[in-house]
Amino acid sequence: MAALNASRRRVVVTARGLVSPLGDTPGAFAAALEEGRSGLGPSALATWNGCAAVVAGEVWGFAPETYFGDRNVRPLDRTSRLAAAAAGLALAEAGLAQVESRTQPVGLVLGTQFGSLKTIAEFDRRGLTAGPNYVKPLDFANSVINAPAGQTAIWHGLVGLNSTMAGGATAGLAAIGHATDLIRGGHAEALLAGGAEELSPEAGLTYGRAGLLAAAGSSPVPFGAGRRGFALGEGAALVLLEELEGARARGASLFGEVVGHASAFDPSMGQDPWSAASALGRAVRAAFADAGLGPGDLGAVVTGGSGSLELDLAEALGLASSLEEAAEAVPATAIKGALGEAFGASGGFQALALLEILSSGRLPGIGGLGEPEPGLALSLSNRPRAVNARTVLATALGLDGHAAALILTRSDAA
Amino acid sequence: MSRRIVVTGIGMVTSVGIGRRAAWQALLAGRRGTSTVESFDTSRHPVHQGGEIKGFRPDDHLKRLVPAQIGRASQLGAAAARLALSDAGLDPEALDPARAGVAMGTTSGEPQEVERLDDALVAEDLAQAGHGFVRRYPCHLIAAHVAAEVGFAGVNAMIPTACAAGNYALAYAYDALVNDRAELMLAGGADCFSRITYTGFARLGAIAPDVCRPFDKNRQGMIPGEGAAVLVLEPLDRALARGVEPIAEVAGYGLSCDAHHMTAAHPEGEGAARAMERALRMAGLAPEDVSYVSAHGTGTPTNDRLESIAVKRVFGERSPRVPMSSIKSMLGHTMGAASAIEAAVCALAVAEDRVPPTIHFEEPDPECDVDCVPNEAREMPVAVAMNNAYAFGGNNASTVMIKWRP
Amino acid sequence: MEVESIRTKIKEIIANVTNLDPAKIGDTDSYIDDLNLDSLSLLEIGVDVDYAFKLNLPEERMRSLSNVEETVALVLERLSELAQPQPEAALA
């Protein structure tokens, strides 16, 4: 591994872009997390007509014209608009908003669970109610799960490599990991990577039916002793990844370096919490091996804890086993209590949180956390903490057995 | 020197045959798998032909998963995975599960679950709507079910890049092995027949009324189909160490994006040509080295014309003489499975020096100046086979298989 | 149905696809050259117009349209066709 590390191309984060329930700039996002503000509320977007209001992390007041001016956004559904908005913000921060300003093609690897479930389902219902000849052609074009990545590429002229990764709550981290390997392998020089997801009445209805959501009127508390489930969320968050030398040559800002990532799978598909924990633990250990680092180097963890009864427990067990004695010493947190579980977007949000921790040395607390579930060998707090963070880790565990880990370092640390 | 990655097993579930041998023999024989749609009512649609797999019995293949508990695309994918492992002579129980991974591609995941949800919602039967949906619908379940069926606990990637997804999954699996993230990968694609997909393509006027005729002057469109293919990939040294002869070597891939239009390809085939050129560059090959091309070849007037332009950009004067067939003439367009099945075809073509035909070919089209291997399979030396796939969203992917030599 | 209300409805449909102010869509503006509509958007407009006026038009007739004026004319023509009593042979 060490020999591999010495010769391989290095991948750095040179820009960020997000639209989230807690704002659309990295600064606003970080401030809200630091203050423990919640982005959740009763969401009409997530509520099926006539059902009780679903509490969710909506991108409140999302106004496409803020990001797109008077260009026609009709061909883009909400997921695509969120993705294209975040991509535009990241490209602007990088100084690469104009196609002419790019010396290398920029590509995109987008994590998403659904693309747009609402678009797919509405397309189908129109066929049922109006007849198959009256389905909407523009909606059919968006019914493919890679539509948000394709639409974002068209919108911003991203002629570089373009891909989409699914994987539920791990999709965003998996996309960043995949993009990293593509740059390391010389298949791309600059890739936007992260994820996007939208709220929809269909998601609100079906996750409610599955008994996975926090009870009406209660807020999800990741790792809380009395947690009952998670909230749904939405948004988009992307980082611009570039090969280090190329980024330096163009004088890009360096917000951090992607030094390690990995994924693993629980063949019980979440039915056995120990098996799920084992998958998460293997992903973390493999990410450390990829980085040539160990738990002793770690300054902070942004877990994927969401308030889910089973997944939070499995994630904590997996972290404890893979971090060994560092587990109880390294400050850990979870941001999905404030943002909701935004699936594809979640990994992007976690990556942005890691970058903020690297720059500020501040780890947000878990809002509302009174007593953590007993026996979790993690260092959790409901208050923000100062951390000595040169190396930070994000983890995620999906409902169906997917596990992912991502390790970033301060770019001056290398 | 990068690790060499080889194909050591193939599983195919198609409308012309299930299993490597049955499917390959049927494709070489030029058998048509499309027929009148039976899985839903098409009486209000303008077209009625589809590529359904009518004789698929998941119970014949699945050993761990209960077919009734998983969606049809998962059933097709997991069956293909079982067939591929058996073809590779591998006992999944004997592998290190943490080092065995899965990468699958799809267009629609499990769209029949959305259809079930919508049926209940349209019937205003809210009490019945959405139960079990979140555990049956998300597309990552295809890769999850493949891995759960065979007990693989390593890398698990689901790549929903529509009709190029099989090639994307193959590329992902290749990298996972080269980067030592796994020592064995199952790579493929799966999609099931779906009212949503069928209705959409019908509305676009893209579906042929009778049969799919790629590159024919009178072609009238594609025919949606379903299927799955899974390839076993492993590093060459591992394959040799366990004493198996590789079927083919994966030499390279090229991915590109048109960033032009959601449903229309670039008018000069620009992105498609870039994907082919990248794949050849990565493989260390020149266009003149290519013996056979498995075309995207959907049979729509536009696709086949633009694809002919794209191959001309890459192969130049030689392009009319490069054998380039489309098995979509037989299977229809199996969406995310298509380029996985076609990758399997490329591997078998280099292994056996035979290429499948484009059937239903009658009249050449001056706008498609290609040798589409009309109607009859051809025995010919195949050292290098290139597999092209293009998708909604402007996602282009080409992969290259070469004959394995020690 | 009045010509003006047909025209207004058609412009609403186009506005929904193009994000343009309906008042700014000229009767003779070319769908392709002035409004920059691609084939997918044109198809969407055709589907919506057909549905709004219950025209049940064959695809080919919708495809040849190039502006609002022609679309209004086609809708009027089709509505009058549909208002005609069906010939007896067709009923048989």
| Chain segment A17-41, per-residue pLDDT in tens | 999 999 999 999 999 999 999 999 9
Closest CA to A17 of A226, A237, A342: A237
Low-confidence residues of chain B, pLDDT below 70?
1
pLDDT at B259: 85
The alpha-carbon gap from C46 to the nearest alpha carbon of chain B, in Å, equals 11
| Helix, strand counts (H, E) of chain B | 11, 15
Tokens of B36: 């009148």
Q: Of the candidates A149, A210, A402, which has its C-beta nearest B156's C-beta?
A: A402
Query: Chain A contact for B395, CB < 8 A?
Result: yes
The CA distance from B301 to the nearest CA of chain C, in Å, is 15
Tell me how far CA of residue A267 lies from CA of A320, B152, B170, in angstroms.
20, 6, 21
Spatial CA neighbour of A315 closest among A307, B226, A389? A307
| Residue among B111, B157, B394 whose CB faces A165 most closely | B157
The answer to whether the CB of B197 falls within 8 A of the CB of B333 is: no
Helix (H/G/I), strand (E/B), else coil: B391: coil
For testing contact with chain A, the best of B104, B155, B256, B335 (most A CBs within 10 A): B155
The whole-number pLDDT of residue A70 equals 87
Of A73, A135, A141, the CB nearest to C40: A141
| Tokens (6 digits) for A319 | 């972290």
Q: With a CB-CB cutoff of 8 Å, which residues 391-410 of chain A face chain B?
A: 398-402
Environment class of residue C22 by beta-carbon count within 10 Å: exposed (0-12), middle (13-18) or buried (19+)?
Answer: middle
pLDDT tens-digit profile, chain A (414 residues): 444 456 899 999 999 999 999 999 999 999 999 999 999 999 999 999 999 999 999 999 999 999 999 899 999 999 999 999 999 999 999 999 999 999 999 999 999 999 999 999 999 999 999 999 999 999 999 999 999 999 999 999 999 999 999 999 999 999 999 999 999 999 999 999 999 999 999 999 999 999 999 987 788 999 999 999 999 999 999 999 999 999 999 999 999 999 999 999 999 999 999 999 999 999 999 999 999 999 999 999 999 999 999 999 999 999 999 999 999 999 999 999 999 999 999 999 999 999 999 999 999 999 999 988 998 999 999 999 999 899 999 999 999 999 999 999 998 744
Chain C: partners with 3+ C-beta pairs within 8 Å: A, B
Residue A154, both tokens: 């068209």
What is the DSSP code string of A318-341? HHHHHHGGGTTTSBEEE-HHHH-B
> What are the pLDDT digits (tens) for A360-398?
999 999 999 998 899 899 999 999 999 989 999 999 999
d(CA B141, CA A167) in angstroms, rounded, equals: 8
CB contact under 8 A, B205 and C47: no
Distance CA A295, CA A284 (A): 9
The secondary structure element, H or E, covering residue C76 is helix C68-83
Q: Point out which residues pair with B253 in neighbouring strands.
A: B399
Give the span between the Cα atoms of A257 and A10, in whole angstroms: 8
Cα separation, B142 vs A12, in Å, equals: 32
**Closest residue in chain C to residue B263, using alpha carbons only:** C40
Copy the structure tokens of residue B401.
């298989």
Looking at chain A, which subunits does it touch, using at least 3 CB pairs closer than 8 Å as the criterion? B, C
Three-state SS at B49: strand
Q: Do B391 and A128 count as a contact with CB atoms less than 8 A apart?
A: no
Q: Which residue of B has its CA nearest to C60?
A: B205
Q: Taking the C-alpha atoms of B318, B321, B327 and B333 in order, what is their torsion angle to the nearest 10 degrees?
A: 40
Please tell me whether residue C92 adopts helix, strand or coil conformation.
coil
Please give the residue of chain C at the shortest CA–CA distance from A139: C44
Give the pLDDT score at B367: 97
CA-based nearest residue to B204, from B259, B164, B264, B163: B264
Q: Which of residues 272-291 of A touch B (CB under 8 A)?
A: 278-279, 282, 286
CB contact (8 A) between residue A137 and residue C40 = yes
Q: What gap in Å lies between CA A31 and CA A29, rounded to an integer?
A: 6
Inter-chain touch C39–B205, beta carbons under 8 Å = no
Taking an 8 Å cut-off on Cβ atoms, the answer to whether A124 and B133 are in contact is no
The one-letter code for the residue type at C42 is L
- Of the candidates C13, C56, A150, A117, which has an alpha carbon nearest to the alpha carbon of residue B196? A117
Calculate the alpha carbon distances from C51 to A193, B207, C55 in Å: 40, 22, 7
Determine whether the interchain pair C40/B262 forms a contact, defined as Cβ–Cβ distance below 8 Å: yes
Under a CB-based contact definition with an 8 Å cutoff, are residues A282 and A311 in contact? Answer: no
Cα torsion at A210, A211, A216, A220 (round to 10°)?
-110
Tell me which residue in B108, B114, B148 faces A267 most closely, judged by beta carbons: B148
Contact call for A165 and B159, based on CB within 8 A: yes
Q: Does A254 touch chain B (CB under 8 A)?
A: no
Mutation target to probe the B interface, by most B beta carbons within 10 A, among C32, C42, C43 is C43
- Give B393's contacts in chain C (Cβ within 8 Å): none
Q: Provide the sign of the torsion angle of the four alpha carbons A11, A17, A20, A26, taken in this order.
A: positive
A210 touches chain B (CB under 8 A): yes
Residue in C20, C40, C51 closest to A138 by CB? C40
Q: What is the full DSSP assignment across A258-314?
A: EEEEEEEE-TTTTSSHHHHHHHHHHHHHHHHHHHT--GGG--EEEE---S-HHHHHH
Q: How is residue A234 written in tokens?
A: 């939405």
B397, B244 Cβ separation under 8 angstroms: no
How many CB pairs below 8 A link A and C? 29
DSSP one-letter code for A217: T
Contact between B263 and C47 using a beta-carbon 8 Å cutoff: no
Chain C nearest C-alpha distance from B328 (Å): 24
Q: Which residues of B are catalytic?
A: 163, 296, 333
- The neighbour count for residue B40, using CB atoms within 10 Å, is 16
Picking from C17, C36, C39, C60 by the largest number of B CB atoms within 10 A of its own CB, the best residue to mutate is C39
Distance CA A391, CA A66 (A): 35
Q: Does C39 touch chain B (CB under 8 A)?
A: yes
Residues in chain C within 8 Å Cβ distance of A141: 40
Position B394: which residue type? G
Spell out the residues 6+ positions from residue B98 whose beta carbon is closer than 8 angstroms to its own.
A264, A282, B153, B154
Q: Which of B63, B108, B140 to mutate to test the interface with A (most CBs of A within 10 A)?
A: B140
The three-state DSSP-derived secondary structure of C2-67 is CHHHHHHHHHHHHHHHHCCCHHHCCCCCCCCCCCCCCHHHHHHHHHHHHHHHCCCCCHHHHHCCCC
Which two structure tokens, joined as six digits, stand for B115?
């259809």
Q: Distance between CA B101 and CA B305 in Å, rounded?
A: 38
Regions of chain C where pLDDT drops below 70: 1, 86-92
Two tokens at A84? 């294209």
ipTM over 0.95: yes
What stretches of B88-154 show up as alpha helix (H) in DSSP? 111-122, 140-150
Contacts of B261 in chain C (CB under 8 A): 38, 40
Bridge-based pairing of strands B5-14 and B227-235 is antiparallel
Report residue A322: phi and psi, to 5°.
-85, -30
Whole-angstrom Cα Rg for chain A: 20
Interface test with C, best of B44, B201, B203 (most C CBs within 10 A): B203
Q: Is B126 exposed, middle or buried (0-12, 13-18, 19+ CB in 10 A)?
A: middle
Q: Which residues of A touch C47 (CB under 8 A)?
A: 133-137
What's the gap between Cα B363 and its chain centre?
27
E strands in A329-390: 332-334, 362-363, 385-386
Q: Which two tokens stand for residue A207?
A: 């996750």
DSSP element (H, E) containing C85 = none
Please name the residue that has the structure tokens 């129109």: A126
Q: Residue C19: left (phi > 0), alpha (psi -120 to 50), or beta?
A: left
- Give how far C48 is from chain B: nearest CA, Å: 12
Let me know: does B396 contact B270? Beta carbons within 8 Å: no
Contacts of A137 in chain C (CB under 8 A): 40, 43-44, 47
Note whether A401 contacts B135, CB cutoff 8 Å.
Answer: no
Query: Residue C44 is nearest to which of A72, A133, A136, comparing CB atoms?
Result: A136
Q: B324-325 and B292-294 as β-strands: parallel, antiparallel, unpaired?
A: parallel
Residues 46-65 of C with CB under 8 A from B: 47, 59
- Per the CB < 8 Å rule, is A282 touching B98? yes
Q: Please state, in angstroms and as integers, the Cα–Cα distance from residue A335 to each residue in A332, A405, B327, following that order.
A: 10, 16, 49
- Which residue among B205, B261, B263 places its CB closest to the CB of C59? B205
